């Protein structure tokens, strides 16, 4: 290990060496003719100087990079070279670390879900990541060095980019990913470059639209019954002397409307509860008893207007939440009675498949549903015939609740319908939730 010399000895040592050479020359010159001594001294100094010039030349080559590996030397050169090498190694270490950090940063940015485009002062593309390819339709083979305004030809984008208002984001439809909405933002970078960040906000925009629709729908649904009740109350207020019998005449309608508000609020609370509790509290549900109870209730609701049948093809039980399953499956039965004209048939069936799955289905001979409505039936407040559903007391939330409850049981709703013939709504439960009739009783799961 080389010990660096102190600053003092850095100068001191070569001076001493030079003096020593001079002294040696003087001693050697004793007894020689005059002038020889000086010649010897000059020759010594010349050798000494040549050595240093030689080392300087090597150092210069070394600094140019033509001489490798690392130089070594004695004395002052050893010290200088040691320091230089140490400095160089530290610098190389720093450079390697910076390069590794940069590579890591680029790697992270490359796989970011947001699109990132680095632009120079003239808005030419310097670099972009994979998400930018997908969201902005950029191509790594074609678009480096191109003006971004030539590639994203949209007047709103052009105005926004040139305004360089960092506080303002721009919402834009993706030019390449169809149906996707982007939120664009500019972030300033050193050397007057800037970073364009494109975030896919499709899901956010969809949720926001859903939220707005939902609030509008709830308000709309509540307004009608409240208006009816308020109308009556105002009329009675204006007629203080009116006959109480006159007042009584309107009570059924006011009661019906109040009932409607209560049902709507109940359904909204049920939905909110289903959403806030991620898991069901499971128990063993006796599906035979449940189906029988639902068939009885269908009879009560129908009051002899329909032919109700019950087919219990299996005695299998289900692992799930009895209360939730009851309210979901009751909705399928109530719908079948409600949307089937008098004289029609409603069939309730509980059956297992060979794979061990099981299905609860309700088939009716009602008017049927056109194919375009089927995928939307489980949306909140979606009704094929709004007036008809309202008239029969529907809130339009029933199938949304069914969908939620089934999802919580890893089950799905299959809907088949033919206009003019009728529909089948089937809740299909996976084998893991079905206890076949042969298995011993499990009371609590």
Ligand X SMILES: Nc1ncnc2c1ncn2[C@@H]1O[C@H](COP(=O)(O)OP(=O)(O)OP(=O)(O)O)[C@@H](O)[C@H]1O
Give contact residues for ligand X (rule: CB under 6 A).
267, 331, 335-336, 339, 364, 366, 369, 377, 382-385, 389, 394-399, 423
- Name the strand (E) or helix (H) holding 219: helix 202-238
Smallest separation, CB 420 to ligand X (Å): 11
Pattern 307-336, binding to Mg ion, x per CB under 5 A?
A: ------------------------x---x-
Of 280 and 423, nearer to ligand X (C-beta) is: 423
Residue owning tokens 């800037």: 194
270 binds, among Mg ion, ligand X, none (CB under 5 to 8 A by kind): none
Helix, strand, coil abundance in the chain, percent, nearest 5: 55, 15, 30
User: Which residue, 129 or 389, has its beta carbon nearer to Mg ion?
Assistant: 389
Closest-by-Cβ residue to ligand X is 398
State the nearest-atom distance from the C-beta of 413 to Mg ion, in Å.
13
Given the complex with ligand X, which of 55 and 417 has the nearer CB atom? 417
- 195 is in the binding site of which of Mg ion, ligand X, none (Cβ under 5 to 8 A by kind)? none
Q: With respect to Mg ion, which residue has the nearer C-beta, 331 or 417? A: 331
Separation in Å, CA 211 to CA 160, 275, 380 = 28, 14, 11
Cis amide leading into 69 (omega within 30): yes
Q: How far apart are CA 370 and CA 153, in angstroms?
A: 41
Residue nearest to Mg ion (CB): 398
Binding mask 331-350 for Mg ion (x = CB under 5 A): x---x---------------
x/- string (CB under 5 A) for Mg ion, residues 35-74?
A: ----------------------------------------
The site partner of 308 among Mg ion, ligand X, none (C-beta below 5 to 8 Å per kind) is none
Looking at beta carbons only, is 352 or 405 nearer to ligand X? 405
**Residue 68, token pair as written in the block:** 């490798």
Q: Where do runs of H (alpha helix) occur along 65-175? A: 75-110, 130-136, 148-151, 155-163
Residue 106: both structure tokens together: 């680029």
Q: Rank residues 44 and 398 by Cβ distance to Mg ion and give the closer one.
A: 398
The sign of the CA dihedral 174, 177, 179, 182 is negative
In whole angstroms, what is the distance from residue 132 CA to residue 406 CA? 38
Rounded to the nearest angstrom, the gap between the alpha carbon of residue 21 and the centroid of all alpha carbons in its chain is: 80
Residue closer to Mg ion by CB (options 157, 381) is 381
d(CA 229, CA 227): 6
Measured CA distances, 104 to 84, 110, 117, 323, 376 (Å): 30, 10, 17, 53, 46
Q: Is 369 left (phi over 0), alpha (psi -120 to 50) or beta?
A: beta
Give the x-and-dash track for 396-425 against Mg ion (CB under 5 A).
Answer: --x---------------------------
Strand partners, 147: 124
List the single partner that 395 binds among ligand X, Mg ion, none, CB under 5 to 8 Å by kind. Answer: ligand X
Contacting positions for Mg ion (CB under 5 A): 331, 335, 398
């Amino acid at each position: 290990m080389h010990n660096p010399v102190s600053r003092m000895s850095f100068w001191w040592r070569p001076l001493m060496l030079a003096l020593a050479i001079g002294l040696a020359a003087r001693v050697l010159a004793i007894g020689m003719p005059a002038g020889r001594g000086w010649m010897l001294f000059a020759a010594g100094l010349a050798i000494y100087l040549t050595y240093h010039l030689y080392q300087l030349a090597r150092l210069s080559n070394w600094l140019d990079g033509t001489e490798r590996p690392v130089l070594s030397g004695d004395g002052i050169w050893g010290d200088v070279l040691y320091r230089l090498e140490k400095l160089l190694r530290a610098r190389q270490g720093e450079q390697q670390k910076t390069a590794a950090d940069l590579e890591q940063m680029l790697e992270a940015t490359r796989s970011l879900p947001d699109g990132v485009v680095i632009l120079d002062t003239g808005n030419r593309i310097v670099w972009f990541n994979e998400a930018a390819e997908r969201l902005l339709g950029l191509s790594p083979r074609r678009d480096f060095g191109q003006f971004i305004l030539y590639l994203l030809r949209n007047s709103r984008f052009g105005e926004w980019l040139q305004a360089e208002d960092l506080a303002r984001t721009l919402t834009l439809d993706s030019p390449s990913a169809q149906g996707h909405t982007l939120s664009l933002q500019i972030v300033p970078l050193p050397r007057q470059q800037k970073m364009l960040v494109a975030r896919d906000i499709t899901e956010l925009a969809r949720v926001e639209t859903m939220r707005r629709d939902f609030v509008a729908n709830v308000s709309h649904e509540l307004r009608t019954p409240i208006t009816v009740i308020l109308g009556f109350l105002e009329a009675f207020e204006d007629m203080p002397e009116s006959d109480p019998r006159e007042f009584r005449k309107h009570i059924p309608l006011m009661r019906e409307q109040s009932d409607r508000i209560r049902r709507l609020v109940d359904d909204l609370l049920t939905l909110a509860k289903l959403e806030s509790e991620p898991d069901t509290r499971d128990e063993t549900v006796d599906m035979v008893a449940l189906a029988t109870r639902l068939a009885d209730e269908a009879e009560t609701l129908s009051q002899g207007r329909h032919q109700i049948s019950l087919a219990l093809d299996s005695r299998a039980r289900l692992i799930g939440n009895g209360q939730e399953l009851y309210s979901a499956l009751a909705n399928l039965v109530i719908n079948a009675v409600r949307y089937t004209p008098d004289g029609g048939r409603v069939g309730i069936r509980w059956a297992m498949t060979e794979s061990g799955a099981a299905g609860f289905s309700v088939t009716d001979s009602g008017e049927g549903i056109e194919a375009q409505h089927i995928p939307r039936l489980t949306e909140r407040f979606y009704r094929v015939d709004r007036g008809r559903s309202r008239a029969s007391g529907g809130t339009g939330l029933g199938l949304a609740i069914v969908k939620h409850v089934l999802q919580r049981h890893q089950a799905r709703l299959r809907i088949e319908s033919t206009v003019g013939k009728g529909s089948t709504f089937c809740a299909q439960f996976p084998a893991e939730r079905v206890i076949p009739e042969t298995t011993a009783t499990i009371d609590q799961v």
